[in-house]
Amino acid sequence: MIESFLRFLVKQVLIFCVVFPGPISVLAQNTSIKVIKAGRLIDVVSGKLLTNQVILIEGNKIKEVGPSVTIPSGAEVIDLSNYTVLPGLIDCHTHITGQPENYYEDIFRKSSIDNAITAHIYARHTLEAGFTACRDVGAPEFVDVALKRAINSGAIPGPRLFVSGLAIGATGGHGDLSGFSPYLQFNQQSGVADGVDAVRKQVRHNIKYGADLIKMIATAGVLSEEESVGGPQYSPEEMKAMVDEAAMWGKKVAAHAHGAEGIKMAVRAGVHSIEHGSLIDEEGIRLMKEKGTWLVSDVYNDDYILSEFTRLGYPEKIIEKERTIGRLQRENFQKAAKAGVKIAFGTDAGVYPHGDNAKQFFYMVKYGLSPIQAIQAATIQAAELLGEKERLGSITAGKYADIIAVEGNPLEQVTLLEKVKFVMKDGQVYKK
């Protein structure tokens, strides 16, 4: 009886192996170990293009890289021998929880619930475009914190997020709702804070609810209805209080700053980065170099604003401000790059559609950087700005397995980065 049963069991197993060979081979494969065969690899540390490299990945980290790496038995092999492989890209200035559709409807007919419902779409678009990490610099109602948590839990796909929560700005400034009736009120959390004590309290409020960094609105802006493009909107004392309070909690400050005087005030106050930097002057460039302050300049989106924002219903006064600022921003970016200011890649994605982040590479090269410098700005330098250079930014043993691939050689044609073919984040493949 037992012998008959065993013969029957063996027969059934043999039949299963013939009919369903796939699952058996999968079970035999060590799925925690992956190997990428890279035809070309951009070493962003040395700035060199390497050929015929093997990347050994164990779990979510890179274990070994080189031309002679032994491929373990049972490892999953990913053949990218016809591609150029490079680290996952990092965008240090995004607003990943939304993007404009219609100026007045966005203000009056939508709430932060709408942002929360659609944010996962933008996160996926960004990841599939090859951006495996982003710094988000201003979102309503801590939607960015919730999005980060959902991504980190594995509930939804998206880039690694470093978030600021509510942007902190002055009454009537770029972070406030200006140009409307004084009787118009919105029942939502606000980052508006005036005076040293209120600024310190707002920093604490943001950190309490999950902010990784603090976003300061140091000057006026473009896409808001206050009159000035770049006038300072905080006093030196308020700026210093914000930086000092953030530092006490182990956080850094990113300063939205267009105007020359406001840039210098923010740099003297000790901010970690200047966002936009449109009207920076020679003294501001000198100060940034002296203090080691990063420049994160969104030199692509002028094209999108001027071509699309009239259709999106934005007031002419806002579009005219962009006409004034866009060309100057690019010229001053070129001056800062030539002077050796530290530059990290940041696009203001959310002003234009998420997933188009890589369109900025063309403009960074056009206005002063070499292709490898632009790529370094979006990898190893961006990781340094984030304080994550030990974990992100290069294909190096010990770092997270955040890896992308493109056809062709982006060191010869940087726009190839707009068409990423392969995306791995944390050792998991999201696009191939």
| 382 in a structural domain | yes
**81 and 100: one domain?**
no
Q: What residues have CB less than 8 Å from 345, skipping those under 6 apart?
A: 89, 90, 91, 92, 296, 360, 364, 374, 377, 378, 381, 382
**83 and 153: one domain?**
no
3-state secondary structure (DSSP) of residue 178: coil
Mean pLDDT of 223-249: 95
| 199 in a structural domain | yes
Structure tokens at 185: 């009120």
Angle between helices 196-208 and 236-248 (to 10 degrees): 30
Cβ(396)–Cβ(406) under 8 Å? no
Mean pLDDT of 270-287: 98
3-state secondary structure (DSSP) of residue 159: coil
Band of residue 12 on the pLDDT scale cut at 50, 70, 90: very low
Name the residue type at position 55: I
**83 and 221: one domain?**
no
Environment class of 113 (CB within 10 Å of its CB; exposed 0-12, middle 13-18, buried 19+): exposed
pLDDT tens digit sequence for 113-162: 999 999 999 999 999 999 999 999 999 999 999 999 999 999 999 999 99
Q: What residues have CB less than 8 Å from 363, skipping those under 6 apart?
A: 299, 300, 330
Mean pLDDT of 410-419: 98
Handedness of CA 180, 185, 189, 192 (dihedral sign): positive
Range of the domain at 418: 29-88+396-431
Give the closest residue to 142 by CA, choosing from 154, 150, 131, 132. Answer: 150
| 2 in a structural domain | no
**344 and 212: one domain?**
yes
- Please provide the average confidence, as pLDDT, over all residues in the chain: 93
- Residue 396 backbone phi and psi in degrees, to 5: -135, 145
CATH of the domain at 252: 3.20.20.140
Give the closest residue to 157 by CA, choosing from 114, 123, 118. Answer: 123
Rounded Cα distance, 236 and 119, in Å: 35
CA torsion 211-96-345-47 (nearest 10°) is: 100
pLDDT at 28 over 60: no
User: 53 has which bridge partners?
Assistant: 38
pLDDT tens digit sequence for 178-226: 888 888 888 889 999 999 999 999 999 999 999 999 999 999 999 998 8
Report the catalytic residues: 215, 348
β pairing state of 422-425 and 403-406 = antiparallel
Q: What is the pLDDT of residue 31?
A: 65
Q: What is the pLDDT of residue 186?
A: 85
Strand arrangement of the beta sheet that strand 61-66 belongs to = 61-66, 48-58, 30-43, 75-87, 403-406, 422-425, 428-431
3-state secondary structure (DSSP) of residue 89: strand
Q: Provide DSSP, 380-409.
A: HHHHHHHT-TTTSSS--TTSB--EEEESS-
Which whole-number Å values give the CA distances from 204 to 219, 243, 244, 248, 292, in the listed order? 22, 12, 12, 10, 26
**83 and 100: one domain?**
no
Q: What is the pLDDT of residue 184?
A: 86
3-state secondary structure (DSSP) of residue 337: helix
- For the chain, how many structural domains are there in total? 2
| 10 in a structural domain | no
3-state secondary structure (DSSP) of residue 49: strand
User: 354 has which bridge partners?
Assistant: none
Determine the length of the chain.
432
| 19 in a structural domain | no
Rounded Cα distance, 192 and 213, in Å: 17
Mean pLDDT of 398-406: 98
Q: What is the pLDDT of residue 178?
A: 87
**337 and 417: one domain?**
no
Q: Which of 23-32, 106-115, 189-198, 338-347 has the lowest mean pLDDT?
A: 23-32
| 224 in a structural domain | yes
pLDDT at 22 over 50: no
Q: What is the pLDDT of residue 15?
A: 38
pLDDT tens digit sequence for 345-396: 999 999 999 999 999 999 999 999 999 999 999 999 999 999 999 999 999 9
**195 and 257: one domain?**
yes
Q: Is 224 left (phi over 0), alpha (psi -120 to 50) or beta?
A: beta
| 13 in a structural domain | no
pLDDT at 26 over 50: no
pLDDT at 95 over 80: yes
Q: What residues have CB less than 8 Å from 210, skipping those under 6 apart?
A: 142, 145, 148, 149, 163, 165
Band of residue 6 on the pLDDT scale cut at 50, 70, 90: very low
Q: Which of 366, 386, 406 is the last residue of a domain?
A: 386
pLDDT tens digit sequence for 39-54: 999 999 999 999 999 9
CA torsion 347-350-356-360 (nearest 10°) is: -20
Rounded Cα distance, 134 and 126, in Å: 9
| 12 in a structural domain | no
Band of residue 14 on the pLDDT scale cut at 50, 70, 90: very low
**44 and 186: one domain?**
no
**222 and 368: one domain?**
yes
Q: What is the pLDDT of residue 5?
A: 39
**76 and 190: one domain?**
no
The H or E element that residue 106 is part of is helix 103-108
Mean pLDDT of 313-329: 94
Band of residue 30 on the pLDDT scale cut at 50, 70, 90: low
Q: What is the pLDDT of residue 226?
A: 85
CATH of the domain at 33: 2.30.40.10
Cα–chain-centroid distance for residue 205?
23
**333 and 347: one domain?**
yes
**377 and 410: one domain?**
no
